[in-house]
Amino acid sequence: MAGSIYKKPILFAIVVTFTVLSGSIVMMLLPMMSDSMHPKLSTLKPYTPLQLAGRDVYQENGCFYCHTQTVRPLKAEVMRYGEYSKAGEFAYDQPFLWGSRRIGPDIAREGGKYNDDWHYKHFNDPRAMFADSNMPAYGWLKDYTLDPQGMEKRMKALSFPCTPADLQALAGKTKLDALVAYMQTLGSAVPRKAEAAMIAQGEKNPLAGNADAISDGRKLFETNCSACHGINAKGGIGPNLENNEWLHARSDETFFSIIANGTTAGQELEGGKKTKGGMPSWHETLDKKKIWSLVSYIRSLKGK
């Protein structure tokens, strides 16, 4: 018996097929049949035509070969990128775009991290913002306008709701606009992580006016902040911090918390100022001393 199957090719092929199917059924088919593989967060919304168009652009250009879209539940990773990814966040993702390489950072929590201007500037020329970035430039995407009819078909194929108004909103929009809109949806079904309070109420800058701290602060500013606030803080995507009367009138604590926690649109800050959003949070990458050094540096610019 033992040797006979090696003389019967058809029997052999049947046995191989069952052998191959065993693992496939247990690991792939049965899970597919169970609800646990199809979870959906109640806060999750299907893509709008503009966002889906952006997702298609993301696929077309193989962004996922450099960027992942899953934050793993590991301490450093949650600190770097934000809340870890939940199974229920991906119910509308056909295909999933988790990726397998991080040549660039994870962007599962990209939505709302920066404002649109930042993304346009970055896609246009990543190296103008980070000299050492190896991300390709994608400014040429603005030469391609979207095709509303084509998008309607795509929305239908995925059974996503799509009103005529949604489609009208595509008029005159380019692939670059769509990509930026997609970036802003990433991770939006999960609330942003609560910000950690790093300083006590009313705490004063212990390094105020300290010359070493000012020079450390300048260096930190050049590597982390100039891309948005401009060289010497003269303004760009973010406001001018040099002749910023509102800012320089603020307490150390408010100053610190803007840098540590960033801003989202519509917060009310000390002195009644409404935020527009787009200032990233820094408490995970910069420790207390570094943030105080930055405060000292920016304060030293006043009236220059």
Partner 1 sequence: MADDSVYEWRAVKGFCLSGLFWGAVSVLIGLFISIQMWKPELNIGPFLTFGRLRAVHTNGLAFGFAVAEIFALSYYMVQRLTRRRLLFPKLAVVQLYIFNAAILVAALSLLAGFTKSKEYAELEWPLSIGVVILWVMFAVNIFGTIIKRKEEQMYITLWYLIATVIGVAVVYIVNNLSIPVSLTKSYSIYAGVNDANVEWWYGHNAVGFVFTTPILAMFYYFLPKSTGLPIFSHRLSIVAFWSLVFAYLWTGAHHLVYTPLPDWIQTVGIAFTMFLIAPSWGSVVNGYYTMGGNWDKMKSNYLTKFFIIGITFYGLQTLQGPTQGLRVVSQLVHYTDWVIGHVHMGTMGWVAMTVGASMYYVIPRIYDTEIYSIKLADTHFWLVLIGQLIFSISMWILGIQQGSMWKAISPDTGSLTYTFMEQVTANYPYWKVRTLGGAIFTVGLCVFAFNIVMTIVQAKKNQASAAAAGGR
The site map against partner 1 for 202-241 (x = CB under 8 A) is: ---------------------xx-----------------
Q: Does 11 bind partner 1 (CB under 8 A)?
A: no
Task: Please list every residue from 85 through 114 that binds ligand HEM, using CB under 6 A.
Answer: 100-101, 103
The dihedral region occupied by 232, where left means phi > 0, alpha psi between -120 and 50, and beta the remainder, is left
Closest listed residue to residue 98, CA positions, set 58, 47, 154, 50: 58
Give dist(CA 121, CA 229) in Å, integer. 13
From candidates 1, 23, 191, 245, binder to partner 1 by CB under 8 A: 23
Task: Give the interface with ligand HEC as residue ranges (CB under 6 A).
Answer: 58, 61, 63, 65-67, 103-105, 107, 110, 113-115, 118, 126, 130, 133-136, 138, 179, 183, 224-225, 227-229, 237-239, 241, 244, 246-247, 258-259, 263, 275-280, 282, 294
Task: Report which of 91, 92, 60, 95 is spatially closest to residue 178, judged by C-alpha positions.
Answer: 60
Q: Are 261 and 192 in contact (CB under 8 A)?
A: no
Residue 46 or 104: the one with the smaller Cβ distance to ligand HEC is: 104
Residues 30-59 as x/- pattern, contact with partner 1 by CB under 8 A = -xx---xxxx----------------x--x
Q: Tell me the residue type at 201.
A: Q
**Based on the number of CB atoms within 10 Å of its own CB, is 259 exposed (0-12), middle (13-18) or buried (19 or more)?**
buried
Nearer to ligand HEC, 40 or 102 (CB): 102
Q: How far apart are CA 258 and CA 267, in angstroms?
A: 11
